[in-house]
Structure 1
């Protein structure tokens, strides 16, 4: 499998076959290497491996066959040269920033991001002299206007969490590159099964593999994906600092990739049915889902995505009190802020995933007190609708 030409294979095939390197035992499934270190035959071999003069595995903080298999498979699915796997999605973003930014640099980021990403930018990178300002993900003029002489990185999620804004990746990439900045795209909501940002002009893709890549809420993981030149500094940071993906988690994520395309199609099918039902509900003020024709970036999403994913958000009449009553009343959906699971989850972003943001920041992002986010799972859609109707009946 090591000599397989990935360029000729469909992503569905890459999800099953890429990164497969069998041992002398000829195992059919991916092997799991649960070891902290690897033995060498001679002192000279150790020196050559530690200095990078010959390839090989040394220590699982930065070299492990199972982790490498996951990295190779994910890179192939994203159409990238290389990937580095990390312990979580947030450690992927931290590793990226530590590798590519320094004091005095500026990030221009989307104003609608995962709450922890904004916390990292505002509360921690700022302590080390990295400036961060924000632009609307759907207003290209704000990206033009937000550039500074010290801007080194554009950062966006598309679709965004939790309002499903769809950013024009190619247009924003053009602005970034015209100003000698990198464009980083968080591809968590679509995964490589539905969207490949590098092919649209992005320089780097980050993932919370905890979400759809695993798909069953079992383990944490993250990844940074891009060209070898851009990923090497991230790898060197990880080798030193150690926000490392464990071999066991890597093995679980390898299994997740094998069914990713099938699951994303099923999530998308359920989500559009739920979104259309919500649009007709008298207690719903607005539904956020790019698969709906009413979504302002529906056509753009159709161009740069092969599906619309499984996350649906909506505003309910009555604000926080009404939203909490609905969430407390459902019986089938899981009340948890995680997403990307085969089990449907329901959450109140203003008091959970985005609860640490200031009220001003939530207002700027459009996250109101009546907003509910649902990560639509793989249960029967009729049962999900009945469960939500139970919530509304409260």
Structure 2
């Protein structure tokens, strides 16, 4: 009673009294400005990035709830839009590209509808098997390997399609028969599907079979499993061999992986020049991570003379593909003016895009750059940022 009396005596100063059994809610900070800015732009991913960053921030609970409600409302609108669209692989790819991060449930439902539509399509007649037997030393399963033409038809088409739209559980059913008959792409489809389902030993078996047929994608899959030690002991030397083999056949992911391993000295001696050469091959194909790596190499002068203009070119390419780290590093290049003219306007644009794409480290330098701009410049930059985000949808 005495404790309550003291509490009541100070109620005018404290505003309320809490007993030990009454939890004290965390103070809610005013984030209405940042929420208003988020809701004013039309894209969904910035909302999801905000939720990912602040979901556990008790001081932002009301702001998080408001953003989540708006994100869910926009996902519902996307679902309604695609409900009226034809259930085709092309539409599934567009939906997945634009909304996979923020509306995964919507993407999954549509992909199931596409798979069902494919299954209900009348099967194409398969041509008669070729009469010539495979060579005795042909790679793959011990049983005779049927040529791809002999396995053609709806089952094989379904296998390729289901892997492409990432419906991996059903892909296993569609790919099993053609893979058992030796179709290399179906074998790779089995490897990709088992890997996505985290059944790594099975993925390894099928990746080895696809790689044994010199399928570049299968060689990349096998290299990646060996490098990660997924389903087997990690083997960097063997992983690098498969990455290089697939990279020589033009697989950009393998070229980038080979460059990264050589840059770190994994499975071989470190070689900056060779790493740069592998990155360049992948970057020339528009592989964003390789473009970022080249930009960093020229910015830091790793194994080559520093070249700020080359760094700007490659970072811009990667940033233009929406890679948040590249956007932040490009902002740093413009803000620092290291070898190129300092440009706070461009720094603000790229820091803002990086922050909207979930790079928390970009927020502070964005605010520094903003303080150096006029209100007119900020308005113009915001227009450019919105246009860039809309173009990525």
Q: Same fold (TM over 0.5)?
A: no
- TM-score using structure 2 length: 0.21
More helix by share: 2
- TM-score using structure 1 length: 0.21
Whichever of the two has the greater Rg, that structure is 2
More strand by share: 1
Between the two structures, name the one with larger relative contact order (CA 8 Å, sep ≥ 6): 1
